[in-house]
């Protein structure tokens, strides 16, 4: 999702948000408070986030959408166009309508492994094929219309692994002050890129591009940057999001392309975007940390 978002004074917004959540006990308590206010299956305050401990959690079974639900811009929980479906053992997202497929449960501290390839349908678009994996999604469904407050791992040609912060609102209309920090450099094109040992930079509305994003890259459909590690069109790409406490690392086809820390929120649902392009997934799993 290649957009620029309005920025807010992060510290002030976070204080207001935490105050609205009521008493906080323990460093991990606030995500549960956020989720307890959501207008979804996480409404009960005692609902806890889950972590894979003894083995992999298969978010997609290969048979049906059990454990997942749809949210679409105009029809909300209804999916009359079958934007999300299972075909020949693959999870198909048509991209025809903006929205997402969400996990019913919330998760923290995991190693997400997804394998995807682009489908044929582009609906006449000329820009790069575009989707995203939204991590730590919290608040009511559609609270950043049509997304949720979350940390996006970008899935788009030339941009796989970029970070975008999506700030939405809670059930009371208060800002959910999502944020990240990354060590960065400024490229020749003025865009902020991750570089280990670079300048610590708090997100301020401009996406954090992956480390080797090509300066001057023309975001035209099916073009490739010189250093792209995404697989060629028609082949499967493996993307891993390693979420450990308040840190996230993104690995694409075995190459670490982005990292961030001071992540807020650090737990929540996992969403797959529908955003104008057909995309297929054959694997969507959560593994214990350090056990890929």
Q: Which residue from 158, 159, 176 is spatially nearest to 167, judged by alpha carbons?
A: 176
- Is pTM beyond 0.95? Reply is no
Summarised one tens digit per residue, pLDDT across range 1-35 is 543 333 333 333 333 333 333 332 222 333 434 43
- Every domain of the chain and the residues it spans: 47-287
Summarised one tens digit per residue, pLDDT across range 131-182 is 999 999 999 999 999 999 999 999 999 999 999 999 999 999 999 999 999 9
CATH number of 47-287: 2.60.120.560
Are the C-beta atoms of residues 203 and 179 closer than 8 Å to each other? Answer: yes
Summarised one tens digit per residue, pLDDT across range 242-268 is 999 999 999 999 999 999 999 999 999
- Phi, psi (rounded to 5 degrees) for 10: -60, -45
Strand-pairing partners, residue 175, are 169
Structure tokens at 203: 């997100």
Residues in the chain: 292
What is the pLDDT, as a whole number, of residue 32? Answer: 38
With a CB cutoff of 8 Å and minimum separation 6, the contacts of 104 are: 41, 67, 68, 69, 269
CA distance 93 to 100: 9
Summarised one tens digit per residue, pLDDT across range 70-123 is 999 999 999 999 999 999 999 999 999 999 999 999 999 999 999 999 999 999
- HSE on the CB side for 131, CA within 13 Å? 25
């Amino acid at each position: 999702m290649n957009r620029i978002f309005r920025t807010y004074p992060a510290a002030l917004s976070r204080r207001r948000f935490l105050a609205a959540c009521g008493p906080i006990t323990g460093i991990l308590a606030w995500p549960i408070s956020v989720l307890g206010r959501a207008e979804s299956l996480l409404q009960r305050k005692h609902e806890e986030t889950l972590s894979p401990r003894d083995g992999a959690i298969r978010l997609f079974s290969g048979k049906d959408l059990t454990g997942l639900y749809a949210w679409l811009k105009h029809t909300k929980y209804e999916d009359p166009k079958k934007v999300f479906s299972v075909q020949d053992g693959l999870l198909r997202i048509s991209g025809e309508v903006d929205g997402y497929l969400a996990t019913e449960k919330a998760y923290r501290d995991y190693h997400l492994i997804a394998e995807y390839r682009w489908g044929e349908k582009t609906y006449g678009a000329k820009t790069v094929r575009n989707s995203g994996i939204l991590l730590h999604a919290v608040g009511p469904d559609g609270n950043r219309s049509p997304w949720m407050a979350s940390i996006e791992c970008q899935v788009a040609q030339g941009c796989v692994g970029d970070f975008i912060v999506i700030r939405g609102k809670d059930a009371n209309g208060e800002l959910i002050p999502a944020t990240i920090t990354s060590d960065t450099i400024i490229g020749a094109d003025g865009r902020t890129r991750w570089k280990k040992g670079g300048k610590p930079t708090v997100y301020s509305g401009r996406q954090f591009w992956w480390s080797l994003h090509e300066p001057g890259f023309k975001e035209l459909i099916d073009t490739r940057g010189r250093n792209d590690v995404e697989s060629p069109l028609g082949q499967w790409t493996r993307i891993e999001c390693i979420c450990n406490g308040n840190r996230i690392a993104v690995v694409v086809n075995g190459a670490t392309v982005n990292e961030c820390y001071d992540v807020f929120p650090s737990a929540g649902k996992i969403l797959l975007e529908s955003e104008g392009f057909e995309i297929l997934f054959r694997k969507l799993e959560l593994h214990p940390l350090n056990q890929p």
